[in-house]
Amino acid sequence: MTDSKTAMSKAYDGSPELTDNVADIAHGVNMEVYRATVPLWKRVWQHSLTQMMLLSVQAFCGPAMADAITGLGGGGLATAKVSNICTAITYALLAIGSSSVCFMGGPIVNKIGVKWALVLGAMSFPIEGSAYYCNSKFGNQWYLILSGAISGIGTACWYVAEAGAIMTLAPSASRGKYLALWIVSRNLGQLVGGAINLSKNHEKGVDGGVSPDTYIAFVIIESLALPFALLITPFEKVVRSDGTRIITSETLSTKMEMKRILKTMTSKLVVFSALWALWSFFYSGTWSTYLATYFSVRARALSSLVSPFFCIVGCFGLGFILDMKSLSQRRRAQIGLFTVVILNVGVYIWSIIMQVKFNHHNPGHIDWQDALYPSAFLPYFFVQTTGPLSQSYMYWLLSSFATDAQENVRNGAAFRCIEAIGQAISYGMNTQTTNNPLVGFCVTFGLLGAAVYPMIMLVNTTPDRIPADVVAEEQDAALEKIEHLKVSNQTPFGAPV
């Protein structure tokens, strides 16, 4: 209640962080005045879709390129073990970093802001690509492993800021489509990585790692994230497409922020979604090992190139379902969960069947001309859609419970921390099971089964409306009442009674 009063007081006083020369109330913006008084370039820059696109470009340049390298199978190296060790370290430190940022998330975000958290993270992106280049060119594996430590710490800051932003920027009725844009951008790195790799490693019979020049292209793309991070605008300046502002609360003391964070970590939302978070990225380590073990270099490249296409269709399809106005938010959450679970179950049953066959008869390195290629590749093709669907759905669900932007940051940090732990365990496990991905497939499938029941319990408590929207409407009503009292207490000549 204190936060609501503070926000109303700022709006009434014409505070620049809320009004920015725009005639508005606490949550809504007078769009006619906004268009008349704010230059076009600034309106475009402050638009929620523009900010989501800037964030999506960073996701493409950073995490997507990291996934593209992973999607080459063992990072494109001759053997998957060193790559898996490097990636495991990255996510272990990402988990530690996310934990630190989660417990200190409020003070950090409130002090430096989402923009500068993204900038700090973007600066660490090119380190991974350069390490793979040095390993491929000079064979110095120590830098590859060290890069996992350095980029893991730097990227943790970016991931937490990103999680809060993607759940906050979208208008209430378009969250599914906004998240689809982000998740597709994040996964298009596989397409670019596959195209780069295929253009340089398309000859039949080539075995081992990809060429060193491939990693130079990755480094260049990873470096482009920084200028786009610098273009991010603070939450309080963003105007959504439906004419609403983002609800932000006042800066809290460190002691109060710690209390809020502890409350977040023990909340029903985090506890019930923890297993889903652990599972949501767990598949990536096993599938990277699967590609490196059973596919030729050019077949890996082709797999990375074509896999994202169905992801685009699937993610936007789920986005439209989650944004259906004819259904309540709870009903959309239930339909979304059912869709995601059924698709994942089908993929994992297929994957386990294929791996059992490979355990009985090792196919060697499968090329795209081999008759076995379609049936061996298709499970990977579909998991590159069902995995992102699971992640997009979870962030949509988390944003359905938030009361303000700061709570989205705390929830996102908690989810990202658990998510990174799952990835670290997955890649660490695959360093010990390099020649038998069946263990990884079974563990991942088991985690999905364990995560479903808590998720059903959580989904069935989804509020029919986003709490942040309810708070905003209460603020608007209170401001209207204040304005009405202000007018009624003046004489017809405008002087106070």
Question: pLDDT for 264-292, tens place per residue?
Answer: 788 888 899 999 988 987 877 778 778 77
| pLDDT-derived band at 7, boundaries 50, 70, 90 | very low
Mean pLDDT, residues 337-362 taken together: 90
Q: Encode pLDDT of 142-198 as tens digits.
A: 777 777 777 767 777 787 788 888 888 888 888 888 998 888 888 777 777 667 767
Residue 25 within any structural domain of the chain: no
Q: What is the DSSP letter of 466?
A: -
pLDDT on residue 107 = 55
Q: Phi/psi at 30 (nearest 5 deg)?
A: -75, 95
Residue 11 within any structural domain of the chain: no
Mean pLDDT over the full length of the chain: 77
pLDDT on residue 135 = 77
Residue 222 within any structural domain of the chain: yes
Q: Which of 406, 403, 394 is CA-nearest to residue 469?
A: 403
Q: Which of 446, 448, 444 is CA-nearest to residue 425?
A: 444
Residue 472 within any structural domain of the chain: no
Q: Is pLDDT of 322 > 70?
A: yes
Q: What is the DSSP letter of 445?
A: H
Number of domains forming the structure of the chain: 1
Residue 415 within any structural domain of the chain: yes
pLDDT on residue 164 = 82
Q: Encode pLDDT of 68-110 as tens digits.
A: 776 565 454 545 555 556 666 665 655 565 555 555 554 566 5
Q: Encode pLDDT of 394-417 as tens digits.
A: 999 988 888 777 778 788 878 877
pLDDT on residue 13 = 36
pLDDT on residue 101 = 54
pLDDT on residue 136 = 74
Residue 198 within any structural domain of the chain: yes
| pLDDT-derived band at 483, boundaries 50, 70, 90 | low
How many Cβ atoms are within 10 Å of 347's Cβ, its own excluded? 22
Q: Which residues of 71-102 are buried (b: 16+ CB within 10 A; e: fewer)?
A: bbbbbbbeebebbbbbbbbbbbbbbbbbbbbb
> Per-residue DSSP letters for 387-417?
HHHHHHHHHHHHHTS-SSHHHHHHHHHHHHH
Rg (CA), the chain: 24
pLDDT on residue 142 = 75
Residue 5 within any structural domain of the chain: no
Domain assignment of residue 377, given as a range: 43-237+252-464
pLDDT on residue 21 = 40
Q: Encode pLDDT of 229-238 as tens digits.
A: 999 998 888 8
Residue 242 within any structural domain of the chain: no
Q: Is pLDDT of 454 > 90?
A: yes
Q: Are 70 and 87 in contact (CB under 8 A)?
A: yes
Look up the CATH number of the domain holding residue 97: 1.20.1250.20
pLDDT on residue 83 = 57
Mean pLDDT, residues 483-489 taken together: 67
pLDDT on residue 57 = 92
Q: Phi/psi at 231 (nearest 5 deg)?
A: -90, -5
pLDDT on residue 49 = 93
